[in-house]
């Protein structure tokens, strides 16, 4: 649900990642500008210029400010969905100037992003304001915000609860946020987060409406998906660009509605019109792959660049990936490296890990294993699964760093607890280490547990390895149906080892009806899939191939139908058959030549085992 996570952190933010918020960011500049770009009060534009005198939108802010000062009408009163306030309560206090949230509908000043809040001054000012008006929920919330910026989480929570008790929408939303992400002294609790967001949403808070929907989807509570979508619709009706992005996302994925790429594109376009960077990101991806819209790589690049240039880190990363793997028409490793470095400078761990990948492979830069390790370490220090895995692989293989299998195992364990494909890669490698007793004490049971975990996460080689263990009873009871299920699953993912195993299963009739035709089909697919990995040209496995004449005749027919075999259907493994296999391999290798391996962020070292052939 990345599409929805980032804007919640901004909307209710005090600080979700204190370390990352230590210095001003483009995201803060953009968020502040979005909160004042339609301002009718010159003071709000002045507040933006004071916070960001050299900001991305400073020139436009000065133009609008001069226009307002030259004849602007008095600014309208601030909306106030909470209980009626007295004139004194609505007066602007130093507490408001120093720590008001720019996303708070009940603020009485422009507000500041968290990295612009001077916490000590703000805390003192808000304590003074509360001394004068002890029951003012706005001051209570703002004191809580200032205290969180100062990392005084316990007292921050106390004051936020006081404001929430008076149904102050932003305070309820803030409580939803801290429970959503598990911030400070609060443990992550999605059910509590949903409850707080719902309360704020019922008070008309648009951000809370979208936040509630996101949490419901994270809970995977399908019974409430429809309710979540309705809150998105209500927020969109209130003008929330984030809600439009959310609606696009639910239609693209079929969450609570029938999947409809056309509807998804419609909402993403509306979000783009409101300058929502997540909408730009998702519309670009749909244009890139032709989902709900004709494939248009030029428009896809334009939208990704527009969001990336405005400081949207996921778009920087995605643009880097697309340029790296040729999804925008050609591989441009130099430009990919530039965008990935920019994303990394903003704290993105995945981007840092991928920069390391480029150094390891020598793509766009001179190959440098030392630099690859340095970038992997940067990503690992950010607890990024790909960085942890890559660094572990470097220690396991001694590539760019002194070999240390114990350190490799430690890093794999850490990566195992993170999310993403690299986590499954780490589980797979760690499983082999436990099986062989390298870097860890040998433990077949733990090896099998980790292999199943990797397989359950969709790691194709792990599917095959776990299938073999189930078939042979290694570290578990023999389970032939489970073995065949795993082989089929991996074969669906294009794994050549899985096709080899299924060819063997059907040739011999292992827990399935013997079927030479189907077995030959899997062997044919195995040759193609193996060639797609770049392994074409080495078909020495053919020398050990021992199958029935009936199976070989079926395989010869497959080769003949593909235009590669001109010999007799005699059921013999002759040199002519081997030459046909070589031609088939060369065809598929050429077809996949130049395709970048973007599914992995590892260093490409095969640490697996040979699962055998049809012997």
Q: What is the pLDDT averaged over residues 355-360?
A: 96
Q: What is the pLDDT averaged over residues 576-585?
A: 89
What pLDDT is recorded for position 75?
41
Q: What is the pLDDT averaged over residues 580-595?
A: 75
* Alpha-carbon gap, residue 213 to 361, rounded angstroms: 42
Please indicate whether residue 489 or residue 29 has the higher confidence score (pLDDT): 489
pLDDT, tens digit, 9 for 90 and up, residues 301-354: 999 999 999 999 999 999 999 999 999 988 999 999 999 999 999 999 999 999
Please indicate whether residue 547 or residue 122 has the higher confidence score (pLDDT): 122
What pLDDT is recorded for position 340?
97
Residue 245 has pLDDT above 50, yes or no: yes
Q: What is the pLDDT averaged over residues 514-539?
A: 83
What pLDDT is recorded for position 72?
45
Total residues belonging to the chain: 615
Q: How confident is the model at residue 157 (pLDDT cuts 50, 70, 90)?
A: very high
What is the average pLDDT score of the chain? 85
What pLDDT is recorded for position 10?
34
What pLDDT is recorded for position 50?
73
* Alpha-carbon gap, residue 169 to 167, rounded angstroms: 6
Q: How confident is the model at residue 534 (pLDDT cuts 50, 70, 90)?
A: low
pLDDT, tens digit, 9 for 90 and up, residues 186-213: 999 999 999 999 999 999 999 999 999 9
What pLDDT is recorded for position 282?
96
Element (H, E) at 117: none
- The DSSP-derived string for 431-452 is HHHHHHTSSS---HHHHHHHHH
* Alpha-carbon gap, residue 132 to 113, rounded angstroms: 25
What pLDDT is recorded for position 43?
72
What pLDDT is recorded for position 414?
96
Q: How confident is the model at residue 599 (pLDDT cuts 50, 70, 90)?
A: very low
Q: How many helices (H) and strands (E) does the chain have?
A: 31, 0
| pTM (2 d.p.) | 0.71
What pLDDT is recorded for position 46?
76
Note whether 317 and 348 are within 8 A (CB): yes
Sequence-distant (≥ 6) Cβ neighbours of residue 574 within 8 angstroms: 567
Residue 8 has pLDDT above 90, yes or no: no
Note whether 350 and 384 are within 8 A (CB): yes
């Amino acid at each position: 649900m990345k599409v929805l996570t980032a804007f919640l952190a901004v909307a209710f933010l005090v600080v979700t990642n204190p370390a990352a918020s230590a210095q001003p960011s483009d995201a803060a500049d953009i968020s502040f500008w979005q909160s004042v770009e339609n301002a009718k009060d010159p003071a709000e534009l002045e507040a933006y210029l004071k916070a960001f005198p050299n900001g991305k939108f400073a020139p436009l802010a000065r133009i609008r400010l001069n226009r307002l000062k030259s004849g602007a009408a008095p600014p309208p009163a601030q909306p106030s969905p909470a209980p009626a306030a007295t004139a004194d309560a609505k007066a602007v206090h130093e507490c408001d100037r120093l720590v008001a949230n720019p996303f708070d509908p009940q603020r009485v000043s422009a507000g500041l992003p968290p990295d612009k809040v001077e916490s000590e001054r703000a805390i003192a000012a808000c304590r003074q304001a509360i001394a004068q008006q002890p029951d003012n929920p706005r001051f209570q919330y703002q004191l809580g915000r200032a205290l969180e910026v100062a990392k005084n989480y316990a007292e921050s929570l106390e004051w936020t609860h006081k404001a929430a008790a008076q149904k102050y929408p932003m305070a309820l939303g803030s409580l939803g946020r801290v429970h959503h992400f598990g911030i400070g002294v609060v443990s992550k609790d999605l059910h509590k987060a949903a409850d707080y967001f719902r309360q704020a949403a019922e008070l008309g808070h648009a951000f809370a409406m979208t936040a509630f929907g996101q949490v419901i989807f994270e809970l995977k509570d399908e019974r409430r998906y429809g309710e979540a979508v309705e809150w998105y619709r209500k927020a969109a009706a209130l003008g929330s660009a984030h809600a439009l992005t959310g609606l696009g996302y639910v239609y693209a994925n079929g969450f609570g509605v029938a999947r409809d790429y056309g509807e998804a594109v419609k909402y993403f376009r509306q979000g783009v019109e409101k300058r929502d960077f997540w909408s730009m990101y998702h519309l670009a991806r749909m244009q890139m792959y032709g989902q709900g819209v004709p494939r248009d790589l030029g428009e896809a690049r334009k939208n990704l660049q527009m969001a990336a240039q405005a400081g949207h880190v996921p778009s920087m990363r995605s643009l880097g990936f697309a340029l790296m793997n040729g999804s925008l028409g050609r591989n441009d490793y130099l430009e990919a490296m530039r965008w990935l470095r920019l994303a990394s400078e903003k704290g993105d761990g995945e981007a840092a890990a991928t920069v390391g990948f480029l150094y390891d492979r020598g793509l766009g830069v001179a190959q440098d294993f030392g630099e690859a390790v340095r970038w992997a370490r940067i990503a690992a220090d950010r607890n990024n699964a790909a960085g942890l895995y890559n660094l572990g692989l470097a220690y396991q293989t001694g590539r760019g760093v002194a070999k240390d299998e114990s350190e490799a195992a430690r890093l794999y364990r850490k990566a195992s607890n993170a999310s993403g494909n690299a986590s499954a890669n780490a589980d797979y490698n760690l499983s082999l280490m436990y099986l062989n007793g390298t870097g860890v004490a040998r433990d077949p049971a733990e090896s099998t547990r980790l292999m199943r975990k990797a397989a359950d996460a969709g790691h194709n080689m792990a599917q095959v390895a776990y299938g073999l263990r189930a078939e042979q009873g290694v570290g578990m009871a023999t389970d032939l149906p489970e073995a065949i299920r795993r082989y089929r699953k991996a074969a669906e993912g294009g794994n050549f080892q899985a096709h080899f195993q299924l060819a063997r299963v059907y040739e011999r009739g292992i827990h399935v009806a013997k079927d030479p035709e189907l077995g030959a089909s899997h062997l044919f697919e195995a040759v193609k899939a193996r060639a797609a990995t770049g392994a074409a040209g080495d078909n020495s496995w053919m020398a050990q191939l021992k199958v029935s004449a009936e199976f070989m005749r079926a395989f010869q027919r497959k080769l003949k139908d593909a235009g590669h075999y001109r010999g007799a259907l005699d059921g013999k493994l002759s040199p002519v058959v081997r030459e046909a296999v070589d031609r088939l391999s060369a065809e598929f290798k050429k077809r996949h030549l130049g395709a970048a391996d973007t599914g992995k962020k590892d260093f490409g070292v095969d640490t697996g085992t040979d699962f055998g052939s049809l012997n």
